Chains A and B, each alone.
Chain A
């Protein structure tokens, strides 16, 4: 069983609030990822990291930011939430090889009113 955790699972907030979505893994993986999943279920990579102090933007432009100060922790922050940020956010991690499985957290469902 994968040991990757996301909190909160559900979040409803008002426009303009600052939020941080937490993601932690206990597998010692260097690679971590954030995906945004739209209502049609399609997945879009918004951020990734290949190790401490390494962060890159993904294929889908996002107003969110990430940090990677510790191997196990990869939080995502929205400085000022808007209704367009309403979505499901999935965090994942993987080992170093191309054939390695990505392990996913349970997701955070964010609703911005």
Chain B
């Protein structure tokens, strides 16, 4: 079945550092790919998404490119802030039943 493998955390960074969280997937066909973010005490919210190969999703300085040849959707941000401290989830939508398959989540802490 479809699955997502996400870089393990936790990740601790200093402010203005470069962040990358690796995400690779296994799927038949062409799923849609998502990054969700969960801030402390809240539910998940969509950070960005891409629906076809070579699409780049971007939001709040974060970017991720749908790479079919490497089955990857790595999340990057050039200069993180303390407010970026959160748990980040990579996910794909199953082509058969449209359910989301989530990665295990990566906890990111940004120190001032």
Cβ of A12 under 8 Å from chain B:
no
Give the interface segment out of A13-21, A62-70, A96-104. Answer: A96-104
| Interchain CB contact under 8 A, B95 and A98 | yes
Cβ of B13 under 8 Å from chain A:
no
- Give the interface SS of chain B, mostly helix, strand, loop or mixed: strand
| Interchain CB contact under 8 A, B38 and A106 | no
Cβ of A52 under 8 Å from chain B:
no
- CB-CB under 8 A from A33, the residues of chain B are 99
| Interchain CB contact under 8 A, B46 and A43 | no
Mark B35-71 against chain A: 1 for CB-CB distance below 8 A, else 0.
0101001111110010100000000000000000000
- CB-CB under 8 A from A2, the residues of chain B are 45
Mark B78-112 against chain A: 1 for CB-CB distance below 8 A, else 0.
00000000010100010100111010110100000
Using CB atoms, name the residue of chain A closest to B32.
Answer: A99
Cβ of A48 under 8 Å from chain B:
yes
| Interchain CB contact under 8 A, A40 and B104 | yes
- CB-CB under 8 A from B41, the residues of chain A are 106
A100 to B100: give the CA distance in the assembly, Å: 10
4 closest pairs, A vs B, by CB?
A104-B43, A41-B105, A99-B32, A99-B51
Report B's interface with A, CB cutoff 8 A. Answer: 31-32, 34, 36, 38, 41-46, 49, 51, 87, 89, 93, 95, 98-100, 102, 104-105, 107
